[in-house]
Structure 1
Amino acid sequence: MSSETILVSQLQDRHSKEAAFRSLVGQYQERLYWHIRRMVLCHEDADDVLQNTFIKVFRNIDQFKGESKLYSWMYRIATNEALSFMKKRSRIQGVSDAEIGQLMVDQLEADPYFDGEAAQLQLQRALATLPEKQRLVFNMKYFEEMKYDEISEVLETSVGALKASYHLAVKKIEGYLKKKPLE
């Protein structure tokens, strides 16, 4: 039995669930945080979404059937939580889903936890112009260095479609950066 299979069985056993969950959080917290942070950009928002993600994982672990890797299942939950957060934020602020990304980039400059350079900020601006799926695929492939088959499991999309999305995202980012170079 793999260590993941053992962890899942401990998570699904009411006697060992809490200790196994602490182990799960320790193992995946940082990776999920950065995945979420690249989507919502703000540290406080990423912490809130991460907390909601782990609550959902804890409540729904009994429904995990092992048809995918545990981490893929959790990434899917984290992705959905981040997307829901962004949709809710766009409704509250009265802007479109496309505009919320740009507003979040604008707020990034004031975020005390963002220590990026002008080039990183410019890349975030370029990413904010991408459609949601292209942005997700780019983040997972470029920043998280995930393989296409792993991204396919998380997003439940074919590898071919993911490769096309990544290629389009790269071209759009290059085009954006050529039109708006750093000063």
Structure 2
Amino acid sequence: MLIKRYQEQLYWHIRGIVKNHEDTDDLLQEVFVKVYRNIHKFKGDSKLYTWLYRIATNESLTFLKKRARRYQISNEEVQQQIIDNLESDVYFSGDEIQLKLQKAIATLPEKQRLVFQMKYFQDLKYEEMSTILETSVGALKSSFHIATKKVTAILTED
């Protein structure tokens, strides 16, 4: 039931972070395995989907950090590789503008990138993001504002 209800939302959330279809599928499976093994630890302090999103976010970020360590490169270099690979990804259906947007988002620091993606693409409320990212609403609003300015500046460059 959980998979049926949340699979698509979590797929797009993870895909927004890792950008690659195959990696997203693998991570989505790992997320649901982790949920299955730890459902007894869900206390009900938050909504179930925010708990699922937190697990998906943490798994995705851990995956990217492991990739950086494996190739002995920085997190920024991992982001650049992801965007470079996006252009040849047969599952990426975006046009040139969408690719430029993804490149701009990839230049953001991790927290700003997450907040921007969650607000812009998934239209999550700040209160939900606060629970998922374990950060204050004020900090999230600030991060989104700064991220929006940076992305806008990049997109309006010649």
Q: TM-score, normalised by structure 2?
A: 0.98
Partner residue, 1:92: 70
Write out per-residue CA displacement over residues 15-62 of structure 1, whole angstroms, 9 at most, x where no aligned residue.
xxxxxxxx1100000000000000000000100111111111000000
Q: 1:105 aligns with which of 83, 95, 98?
A: 83
Letter in 2 for 1:27: R
Q: Relative contact order, CA 8 A, sep 6+: which one is greater?
A: 2
Query: Percent of counterpart pairs with the same letter?
Result: 59
55-64 vs 91-100, greater mean Cα deviation: 91-100
Q: 1:121 aligns with which of 85, 99, 123?
A: 99
Return the alpha-carbon distance in structure 2 between the equivalents of residues 52 and 94 of structure 1: 24
Shift of 1:65: 0.5
State the secondary structure of the residue aligned to 2:93.
coil
Instruction: State which structure, 1 or 2, has the greater radius of gyration over its C-alpha atoms.
Output: 1
Write out per-residue CA displacement over residues 110-162 of structure 1, whole angstroms, 9 at most, x where no aligned residue.
11101110001001100110000000000110000011111111111111000
| Structure 2, gaps ≥5 residues long | none
| Structure 1, gaps ≥5 residues long | 1-22
Partner residue, 1:41: 19
Shift of 1:176: 1.4
Shift of 1:168: 0.4
Partner residue, 2:151: 173
Is residue 2:146 matched to residue 1:143?
A: no
Would you say how many aligned residue pairs link Structure 1 and Structure 2?
A: 158
Shift of 1:64: 0.5
Letter in 1 for 2:12: W
91-100 vs 143-152, greater mean Cα deviation: 91-100
Return the alpha-carbon distance in structure 2 between the equivalents of residues 152 and 24 of structure 1: 22
Shift of 1:91: 1.5
Q: CA RMSD in A?
A: 0.8
Partner residue, 1:66: 44
